[in-house]
């Protein structure tokens, strides 16, 4: 009996600690990025110097949150519906840090902890350059080779083609910069159509052409800048999302994974109008349909492989701007699998965690390169991503 009591006590203590560990939020890994504007595509897994500019890399936690298409001030940590217009929330990459709202003098940190008053630090999500790759007008979204300008081409059922211009945070360009932009379209038959400014966008009347429609945009953002080429393919007509008013929200999150901002009231909902009908994705866009993470490991592995295949299908189709969706969904599945690593032997656990981290970083690279439309970089990032998928699968095989 003398030995039984201590053993039971130790066992109970271990169980209690495991329960506490299980309740801890899974943090995205620390990545190292280049602080130089324009070099946001540099994402390394260890500290060092930026291979582009030589500056010292900075540690950061990159995370995927979900926000309203028309109001990125509303932030959720899980997929769902926008409280103002009823549309599905869209993924967005932000940097995650931890702050003490009650003690502003406490330095912001990438690690959780406690504030001077003993309370837990709160999560803070901050927008990041190139973090929002969601088309704002139902069109095709790309980044210019200068790593700053972004643009979106939309083709409507009326026969109008519109070119929307943004900065690196997907904010509309100032009017004077829109005025300085020159652009023209090249159609399949070689016909050239100039784009004329119409308020805050450039527009050309193409007429109602048979789908799919492919056009090539030649764009100069300044008189002295080079002309860049962007290839758009429209398998269906673009549909603009309505711009609706929304309640104010904060980017600081509580530890309960809910925004500190109050939810919209019934008055807010009435002002927003009835929820919009969702447009179902076509079978070719199955990778864009969010799916819940399965409960069992075999189902998780199957979904991980499916997302990997969908990324390859998008790359093969040239739908580079869409690869980030299945990539980020695969990232969430990989994190869920990492939480199951206690079921593995120590050797397999040591192999699993690095593979999960490689997949996560590769997902962010696919996001960045897909925005740019650089096929070579996308293929290279996908090779790393696919290799990580295979390593994760192998870790769970008996």
Domain boundaries, the chain: 26-128+246-273, 140-234, 281-398
Task: Give dist(CA 320, CA 316) in Å, integer.
Answer: 9
C-alpha closest to that of 232 among 127, 345, 148, 137:
137
Q: Is the per-residue pLDDT at 157 higher than 90?
A: yes
* Domain covering 140-234 in this structure, CATH number: 2.60.40
pLDDT of residue 317: 80
pLDDT of residue 160: 95
Q: Is the separation of the CB atoms in 98 and 111 below 8 Å?
A: yes
C-alpha closest to that of 361 among 339, 335, 340, 393:
335
Q: Is the per-residue pLDDT at 227 higher than 90?
A: yes
Q: Is the per-residue pLDDT at 108 higher than 80?
A: yes
pLDDT per residue over 165-208, tens digit each?
999 889 999 999 999 999 999 998 889 999 999 989 999 999 99
Q: How confident is the model at residue 290 (pLDDT cuts 50, 70, 90)?
A: low
Q: CB-based contacts of 335: which residues, under 8 Å, 6+ apart? A: 26, 356, 360
Q: How confident is the model at residue 285 (pLDDT cuts 50, 70, 90)?
A: low
C-alpha closest to that of 136 among 74, 70, 92, 202:
70
pLDDT of residue 114: 93
Q: Is the per-residue pLDDT at 142 higher than 50?
A: yes
C-alpha closest to that of 110 among 181, 50, 27:
27
Which CATH number, 1.20.120.1200, 3.40.50.720, 1.20.120.290, 1.10.443.10, labels domain 281-398?
1.20.120.290
* Mean pLDDT confidence for 210-239: 91
Q: Is the separation of the CB atoms in 92 and 68 below 8 Å?
A: no
Say how many CA atoms lie within 13 Å of 131 toward its Cβ. 19
Write down the pTM of the prediction. Answer: 0.63
Q: How confident is the model at residue 25 (pLDDT cuts 50, 70, 90)?
A: low
pLDDT of residue 289: 55
pLDDT: which is higher, 274 or 60: 60
Q: Is the separation of the CB atoms in 180 and 221 below 8 Å?
A: yes
State what percent of residues in the chain have pLDDT above 70. Answer: 79
Mean pLDDT value across the chain: 80
* Mean pLDDT confidence for 239-261: 47
C-alpha closest to that of 108 among 121, 118, 98, 94:
98
Q: How confident is the model at residue 284 (pLDDT cuts 50, 70, 90)?
A: very low
Q: CB-based contacts of 38: which residues, under 8 Å, 6+ apart? A: 146, 147, 148
Q: How confident is the model at residue 78 (pLDDT cuts 50, 70, 90)?
A: confident
Q: Is the per-residue pLDDT at 5 higher than 90?
A: no
């Amino acid at each position: 009996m003398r030995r039984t009591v201590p053993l039971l006590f130790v066992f109970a203590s271990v169980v209690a600690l495991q329960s506490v560990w299980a309740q801890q939020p899974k943090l995205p890994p620390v990545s190292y990025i280049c602080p130089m504007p324009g070099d946001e595509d540099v994402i390394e897994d260890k500290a060092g110097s930026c291979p582009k500019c030589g500056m010292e890399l900075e540690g950061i936690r990159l995370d995927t949150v979900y926000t309203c298409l028309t109001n990125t001030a509303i932030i959720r940590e899980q997929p769902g519906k926008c409280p103002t217009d009823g549309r599905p929330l869209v993924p967005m990459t932000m940097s995650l840090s931890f702050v003490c709202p009650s003690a502003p003098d406490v330095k912001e940190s990438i690690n959780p902890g406690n504030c001077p008053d003993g309370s837990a630090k709160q999560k803070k999500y901050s927008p990041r350059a190139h973090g929002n790759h969601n088309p704002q007008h139902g069109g095709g979204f790309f980044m210019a080779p200068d790593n700053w300008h972004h643009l979106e081409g939309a083709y409507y059922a009326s026969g109008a083609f519109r070119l929307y211009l943004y900065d690196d945070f997907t904010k509309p360009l100032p009017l004077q910069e829109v005025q300085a932009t020159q652009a023209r379209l090249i159609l399949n038959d070689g016909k050239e159509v100039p784009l004329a400014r119409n308020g805050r966008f450039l527009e050309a009347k193409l007429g109602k052409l048979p789908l799919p429609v492919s056009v090539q945009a030649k764009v100069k953002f300044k008189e002295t800048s080079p002309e860049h080429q962007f290839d758009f393919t429209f398998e269906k007509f673009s549909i603009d999302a309505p711009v609706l008013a929304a309640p104010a929200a904060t980017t600081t999150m509580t530890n309960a994974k809910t925004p500190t901002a109050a939810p919209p009231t019934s008055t807010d909902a009435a002002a927003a109008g009835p929820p919009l009908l969702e447009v179902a994705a076509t079978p070719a866009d199955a990778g864009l349909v969010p799916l819940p993470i399965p409960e069992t490991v075999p189902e998780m592995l199957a979904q991980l492989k499916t997302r990997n295949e969908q990324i390859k299908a998008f790359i093969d189709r040239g739908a580079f701007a869409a690869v980030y969706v299945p990539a980020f969904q695969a990232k969430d599945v990989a994190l869920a699998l990492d939480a199951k690593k206690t079921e593995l032997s120590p050797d397999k656990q040591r192999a699993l965690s690095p593979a999960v981290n490689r997949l996560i970083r590769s997902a962010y690279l696919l996001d960045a390169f897909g925005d740019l439309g650089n096929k070579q970089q996308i293929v290279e990032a996908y090779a790393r991503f696919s290799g990580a998928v295979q390593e994760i699968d192998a870790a769970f095989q008996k």
